Amino acid sequence: MIAFHGYAQDKSVFEALLPSLEQHYTIYSIDLPFHGNTYWAEPFELDQNDLESLAISFIKEINVEGMVSLIGYSIGGNYVLGLAQKCPQIVDEIWLIAADGLGPKPGFNFITKTIIGRSFFLGFIHFPYLVFAGIWALEKLKIMPIRVAKFFMFNIDTRKKRKLLYLRWRSVSRIRGNIRLVKNQIRLYKIPTYLIFGKNDGVIPVVNAEKFSKGLSSARVLVTDQGHQMLDPETNQYIDIIIKERE
């Protein structure tokens, strides 16, 4: 199993899920680009083709024969879905925990893929005050839960963090899967897909998982009482439920 962590995390976060996963998988958890000890230093930007080449090379390096399982949490879900779209022949199972990438994100695409959007994004790195004011206004108007406002502010409250946000989001934007194509690949290759989402998640709503799973006979959605922070010991019980059901 290859594991892809969430935003501003590193490979160590999956240790919380070892009580359930290590009984069934050999787990390789990696640092995403611009996270942990991984830095994309090539003169070109990471895209799906690079992701496919890296994955296949890595599988050969660890001497794995056949297919691998993929698990992604939060933005790590984008890497899982990108691989499922680009090289489904190597994917045995998909596990998505509070995963990003399951629904359309026009605003995200605008600020990461268009010239005008990227210009706004780069301006935000140096002049973030309007965004700060907007977040707190949404919180005061009860449109955005305070825990979500604090989550966003924590990740953009310094220039270094905002620069990392830009680099990380740009990387994600180039490898995230096309939902229609991903679902077609899951159907064609009959890939078992397990989605564990928290009904109290204010960052990535459970409705994304429910919509994504429609029309996928191999998909199983399990809704918990958790919020967005799901890489914790509590999630093990839900993983155990799914593994027991499939046996």
- In angstroms, rounded to a whole number, what is the distance separating the alpha carbons of residues 52 and 48? 6
The rounded distance, in Å, linking the Cα atoms of 107 and 125 is 17
pLDDT band at residue 231 using 50, 70 and 90 as cut-offs:
very high
> How many whole angstroms separate alpha carbon 233 and alpha carbon 195?
17
Question: Of 147, 170, 193, which one is at a domain's C-terminal end?
Answer: 170
* Domain identity same for 191 and 95: yes
With helix as H, strand as E and coil as C, how does 175-212 read?
HCCCHHHHHHHHHHHCCCEEEEEECCCCCCCHHHHHHH
For residues 75 and 10, membership in a common domain is answered with: yes
pLDDT of residue 215: 94
Co-location of 196 and 166 in the same domain? no
Same domain, 53 and 19: yes
CATH number at residue 64: 3.40.50.1820
Stretch 198-227: mean pLDDT? 94
**Among 84, 123, 128, 79, which Cα is nearest to 99's?**
79
| Confidence class for position 145, pLDDT limits 50, 70, 90 | confident
Q: How far apart are CA 104 and CA 198, in angstroms?
A: 20
Q: Are residues 151 and 205 in the same domain?
A: no
In which residue are the tokens 């890595």 written?
A: 58
Number of domains within the chain: 2
Residue 247, pLDDT > 80, answer no
* Tens of pLDDT, residues 30-53: 999 999 998 777 777 888 898 899
Among 34-43, 108-117, 202-211, where is mean pLDDT lowest?
34-43
Which of 119, 144, 170 terminates a domain? The answer is 170
User: How many CB atoms sit inside 10 A of residue 138's CB?
Assistant: 15
- List the Cα angle 183/188/189 in 5-degree steps: 100
pLDDT band at residue 135 using 50, 70 and 90 as cut-offs: very high
pLDDT at residue 223 is higher than 90: yes
Q: Are residue 95 and residue 155 in the same domain, yes or no?
A: no
Q: What are the tens digits of pLDDT across the range 47-93?
A: 889 889 988 898 888 877 779 999 999 999 999 999 999 999 999 99
Asked if pLDDT for residue 148 goes beyond 90, the answer is no
Q: State whether residue 64 is helix, strand or coil.
A: coil
Kindly state the average pLDDT of the residues 175-181. Answer: 92
State the pLDDT at residue 60.
Answer: 87
pLDDT of residue 246: 83
User: Do 180 and 242 belong together in one domain?
Assistant: yes
- Are residue 93 and residue 130 in the same domain, yes or no? no
Across the beta sheet with 91-97, the strand order is 28-30, 2-4, 68-73, 91-97, 193-198, 219-224
Tokens of 193: 């897909």
Percentage of the chain exceeding pLDDT 70: 100
How far apart are alpha carbons 198 and 74 in whole angstroms?
Answer: 12
Q: What is the mean pLDDT of the chain?
A: 92
Domain range enclosing 119? 106-170
- Contact (Cβ atoms closer than 8 angstroms) between residue 185 and residue 86: no
Do 137 and 16 fall into the same domain? no
Domain co-membership, 68 together with 184: yes
Same domain, 21 and 84: yes
Q: What is the pTM of this model?
A: 0.91
144 has pLDDT over 90: no
pLDDT at 190: 96
- Return the structure tokens found at 6: 């969430």
Of 103, 104, 95, 77, the residue nearest 172 (C-alpha): 77
Amino acid letter, residue 224: T
Residues 60 and 144 in one domain: no
Last residue of a domain, one of 170, 203, 221: 170
224 has pLDDT over 90: yes
Backbone angles phi, psi at 95, to 5 degrees: -120, 125
Which three-class secondary structure state does DSSP give residue 78? helix
